[in-house]
Structure 1
Amino acid sequence: MPLCVCGAAFFCGGNMRQLSFTVPPNYDGVSVRGFLRGPCGVSSRLLAQCKRVEHGITAAGHQKIATDKLHAGEVITLRLPQEKEKLAVHPNGAPPLSVLYEDDSLIAADKPAGMIIYARAGQLTGTLRDITLDYLQKKGETPSFHPLYRLDRDTTGLVLLAKDRYTACSVPPTIQKTYWAVCEGILHGSGTISAPIGTASGSKTRQQVMQQGRTAVTHWQAVGSAKEHTLVRCVLETGRTHQIRVHMAYIGHPLAGDDFYGGSRKWIPRQALHCGSARFLSPAGGEKTVIAPFPADFRGLLKALDLSADVANLQAFLHSGI
Structure 2
Amino acid sequence: MSATSVRVETGSPPPRRQRVRRRRLRELSTRDRVVLGFMVGIPTLIQLLLVWIPTLISIGLSFVRWNGLALSDIKPAGLSNYAYIFSDYTPFWPAVGHNVLWLLFLGVIGTPLGLLLAVVLDQKIRGSRIYQSIFFIPVMLSLALIGIIWQLFYSQDNGLLNYLLGTANTPRAVDWFGDSDVNLWAAMVAATWRHAGYVMILYLAGLKGVDSSLREAAALDGANGPQTFFRVVFPAMKPTNIVIVVITIIESLRAFDIVYVINKGTNGLELLSVLVIQNLVGEGQVIGVGSALATVLLVISLVPIVIYLSRTFRKERL
Interval containing the TM-score (normalised by the shorter chain): under 0.3
Q: Which is richer in helix?
A: 2
Scaled by the length of structure 1, what TM-score is found? 0.24
Scaled by the length of structure 2, what TM-score is found? 0.24
Structure (1 or 2) with the larger CA radius of gyration = 2
Q: Which is richer in strand?
A: 1
